[in-house]
């Protein structure tokens, strides 16, 4: 750990009440689409290192880097062929060390993605499993089973994989393996001690290299009950299963795995952090977020919330309560590499299905782009004022909308092909970032980017927004700087009696966040405006706008306007 991180401006990570991750702004980098240093069209570690000054100026506390490991990219790098190396096409271990040093030197922590539910089918252990006989120790590390039918010619069950198509792949001789995601992502057998041991080695490998934390992919999968008889897809989906009784999601014994991981994390000084990507009901999240487990869990509830005051408030109240009960802090997310960017979601009429919109090439229904950005900025400012950690996704600081009209031939996400062209997938939020207004790939690299960038990218580039105080980039920088300055204990008090469509809360230290989710203006409360997500009037907050107000110091406007004493 460098001096910068140990400096008094950064709370000591060892104190669980003030640990850095509890109220951090974590910026997600999808490395192959961030910055390309060698002009091959794919972002790389050196490109990211060169752009650390951008992240420092933005003011983030940590970077979460999506997988950078050797991968055939059957699922954007979430098919990992070697968990303890860097994909040679995007860097080397030495360049990884340089990245850690550059980030730490700028006071930014690094969280890496760990993908423990499955490996790539190129992983040496899977190659060995294929070469070995049914029932061999090599096959025991994965989930192999005999198929149904006289010769095992039918899959063991009718389960469907997440990206579409059957969840079992035939390897010959009536033997099949399970893949909850793409066929190139065989599921590990977590009942196998070698699998457990190997993951501990992986976590220690990166923790020893200075990684500060881990984002745990599909953390609610891993352990499975595959005893006979296996249920049908319809039985699994019936929805009336008691908690923990699903055959492969959110099983109670997965927490034994995380207890082991926690012991390893806590053997480091400072302890390594972890955040679970667990798509589980809110009341089951505490198990992942507890201090004996991973310590924190994503809550994706605001992703599904309409842009509406009551819905935002209810979601926040519930999540603050659940996180506190779990001994953790809450997390807030509006965009990531798996969902349509929030500037585009908010550009659609209420209730519109973002996936169907993508399938129409971004035309049906017609998006209101200006409104989408206005609401996106208002929602982001609301999130950044909350207690807890906010996870930002690369490019949202530029107000990037989804690239919804990627041609079918350019699509990389397995969702597109595996769903038979009925779901477009996630490439539209993974298009490489624009850094400059012109040039091949808008400053991303020296040649065309691996996913085609749209012609309208230029004005959204970092360079084009840099000096414009009204730009989304300037707004994010201001928001993060004010957040850092105003940051206090994890408490909030809602203001009551506000006009319909307005949500507002006060934070310790004397500041208020007010969001006008409606379309008509509302009165601007007293106080000094330190941030607004869009233009505001002297006395009014326009619709779809958030303001942060700091109490006037004694003798200021508040005192003058208040009752005489």
Q: How far is the CB of 115 from ligand GLC (least distance, A)?
A: 5
* Residues 403 and 454: beta-carbon distance below 8 Å: yes
Angle at 213 between CA 210 and CA 218, to 5 degrees: 135
CB of 218 to ligand GLC, least distance (A): 5
Q: Of 87 and 482, which CB lies nearer to ligand GLC in the complex structure?
A: 87
Cα-atom radius of gyration of the chain, to the nearest Å?
24
Nearer to ligand GLC among residue 296 and residue 545 (C-beta): 296
DSSP string spanning 484-550?
HHH--SS--EEPPSPPTTEEEEEETTTEEEEEE-SSS-EEPPSSEEEEESS---SSEE-SSEEEEEE
Query: Which CB atom, from 141 or from 483, has the smaller least distance to ligand GLC?
Result: 141
d(CA 525, CA 544): 16
CA–CA separation, 182 and 167 (whole Å) = 8
Closest contact distance (angstroms) between CB of 393 and ligand GLC is: 11
Using DSSP, how many helices (H) and how many strands (E) does the chain show? 17, 18
Nearer to ligand GLC, 37 or 120 (CB): 120
Pair type for strands 25-29 and 389-393: parallel
Q: Is the distance from CB of 24 to CB of 110 less than 8 angstroms?
A: no
Supply the minimum distance, in Å, between the C-beta of residue 402 and ligand GLC.
16
Q: 393, 382, 394: which is closest to 479 by C-alpha?
A: 382
* Residue 331: closest CA among 19, 20, 13, 22: 22
How far, rounded to the nearest angstrom, does the alpha carbon of residue 288 sit from its chain's CA centroid?
16
CB of 430 to ligand GLC, least distance (A): 10
CA gap 551, 510 in Å, rounded: 5
**Shortest distance, CB of residue 244 to ligand GLC, whole angstroms?**
21
Closest CB 277 distance from ligand GLC, rounded Å: 6
Give the integer Cα–Cα distance in Å for 186 and 79: 9
Can you tell me the distance from the alpha carbon of 67 to that of 78, in angstroms, rounded to the nearest whole number? 6
Q: What is the maximal distance between C-alpha atoms in the chain?
A: 91
Burial of 126 (0-12, 13-18, 19+ CB in 10 A): buried
> Nearer Cβ to ligand GLC, position 141 or 507?
141
Residue with smaller CB distance to ligand GLC, 341 or 371: 341
Pick the closer one to ligand GLC by CB: 71 or 328: 71
- Give the shortest CB-79-to-ligand GLC separation in angstroms: 8
Nearer to ligand GLC, 163 or 346 (CB): 163
CB nearer to ligand GLC: give 276 or 541. Answer: 276
Q: What is the DSSP string of 395-421?
A: TGGGTPPP-TT--GGG---HHHHHTTT
Nearest to 136 by CA among 199, 194, 71, 198: 194
Closer CB to ligand GLC, 21 or 181, in the complex: 181
Task: Tell me the β-bridge partners of 547.
Answer: 514, 532
Contact 426, 413 (CB under 8 A): yes
DSSP 37-61: SSSSSS--HHHHHHTHHHHHHHT-S
CB of 283 to ligand GLC, least distance (A): 21
Q: Which residue is nearest to ligand GLC (CB)?
A: 78
Contact between 306 and 349 (Cβ < 8 Å):
no
Smallest distance, ligand GLC to C-beta of residue 559, A: 50
d(CA 491, CA 480): 18
If the CB atoms of residues 218 and 460 are measured against ligand GLC, the closer one turns out to be: 218
Under DSSP, the state recorded for 219 is T
Smaller CB distance to ligand GLC: residue 116 or 372? Answer: 116
Which of these, 199, 200, 191, lies nearest to 223 by C-alpha position?
A: 191
Q: How far is the CB of 304 from ligand GLC (least distance, A)?
A: 15
Q: Rounded to the nearest whole angstrom, what is the least distance from the CB of residue 421 to ligand GLC in the complex?
A: 18
Coil, strand, or helix at residue 424?
coil
Positions in the binding site for ligand GLC (CB under 6 A): 75, 78, 115, 181, 217-218, 277, 337-338
Least Å from the CB of residue 413 to ligand GLC: 8
Q: Toward ligand GLC, which CB reaches closer, 114 or 464?
A: 114
């Amino acid at each position: 750990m460098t001096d910068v991180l140990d400096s008094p401006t950064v709370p000591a990570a060892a104190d669980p009440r003030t640990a850095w991750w509890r109220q951090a702004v974590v910026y997600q980098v999808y490395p192959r689409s961030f910055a390309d240093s060698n002009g091959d069209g794919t972002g790389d570690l050196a490109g990211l290192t060169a752009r650390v000054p951008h992240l420092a100026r933005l003011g983030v506390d940590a970077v979460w880097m999506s997988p950078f490991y050797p991968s055939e990219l059957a699922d954007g790098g979430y098919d990992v062929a070697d968990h303890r190396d860097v994909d040679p096409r995007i860097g080397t271990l030495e360049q990884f060390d340089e990245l850690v040093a550059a980030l730490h030197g700028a006071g930014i922590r690094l969280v890496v993605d760990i993908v423990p539910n499955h490996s790539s089918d190129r992983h040496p252990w899977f190659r060995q499993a294929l070469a070995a006989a049914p029932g061999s120790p090599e096959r025991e590390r994965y989930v192999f089973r005999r198929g149904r039918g006289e010769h095992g010619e039918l899959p063991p069950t009718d389960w469907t994989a997440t990206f579409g198509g059957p969840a079992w792949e035939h390897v010959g001789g009536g033997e099949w393996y399970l893949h909850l995601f793409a066929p190139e992502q065989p599921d590990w057998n977590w009942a196998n001690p070698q699998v457990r041991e190997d993951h501990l080695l992986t976590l220690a490998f990166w923790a020893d290299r200075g990684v500060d934390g881990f984002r745990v992919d599909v953390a609610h999968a891993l352990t499975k009950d595959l005893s006979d008889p296996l249920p049908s897809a319809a039985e699994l989906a019936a929805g009336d299963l008691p908690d923990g009784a699903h055959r492969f999601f959110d099983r109670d014994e997965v927490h034994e795995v995380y207890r082991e991981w926690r012991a390893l994390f806590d053997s480091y000084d400072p302890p390594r952090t972890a955040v679970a990507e667990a798509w589980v009901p809110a009341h089951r999240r505490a198990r992942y977020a507890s201090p004996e487990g991973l310590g924190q869990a994503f809550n994706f509830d605001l992703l599904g919330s309409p842009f509406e005051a009551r819905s935002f408030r209810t979601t926040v109240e519930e999540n603050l309560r659940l996180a506190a009960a779990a001994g953790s802090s809450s997390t807030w997310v509006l965009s990531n590499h798996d969902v349509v960017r929030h500037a585009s979601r908010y550009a659609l009429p209420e209730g519109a299905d973002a996936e169907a919109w993508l399938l129409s090439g971004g035309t049906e229904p017609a998006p209101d782009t200006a409104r989408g950005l206005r609401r996106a900025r208002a929602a982001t400012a609301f999130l950044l004022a909350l207690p807890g950690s906010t996870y930002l996704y690369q490019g949202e600081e530029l107000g990037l909308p989804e690239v919804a009209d990627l041609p079918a031939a350019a699509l990389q996400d397995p969702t597109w092909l595996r769903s038979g062209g009925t779901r477009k997938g996630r490439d539209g939020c993974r298009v490489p970032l624009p850094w400059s207004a012109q040039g091949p790939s808008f400053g991303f690299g020296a040649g065309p980017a691996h996913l085609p960038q749209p012609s309208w990218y230029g004005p959204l580039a970092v360079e084009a927004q840099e000096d414009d105080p009204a730009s989304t980039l300037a707004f994010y920088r201001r928001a993060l700087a004010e957040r850092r300055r105003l940051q206090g204990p994890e408490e909030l008090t809602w203001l009551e009696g506000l006009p319909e469509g307005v949500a507002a809360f006060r934070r310790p230290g004397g500041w208020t966040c007010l969001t006008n989710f409606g379309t008509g203006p509302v009165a601007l409360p007293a106080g000094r405006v330190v941030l607004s997500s869009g233009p505001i009037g002297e006395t009014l907050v326009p619709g779809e706008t958030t303001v942060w107000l700091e109490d006037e110091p004694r003798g200021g406007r508040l005192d003058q306007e208040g009752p005489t004493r």
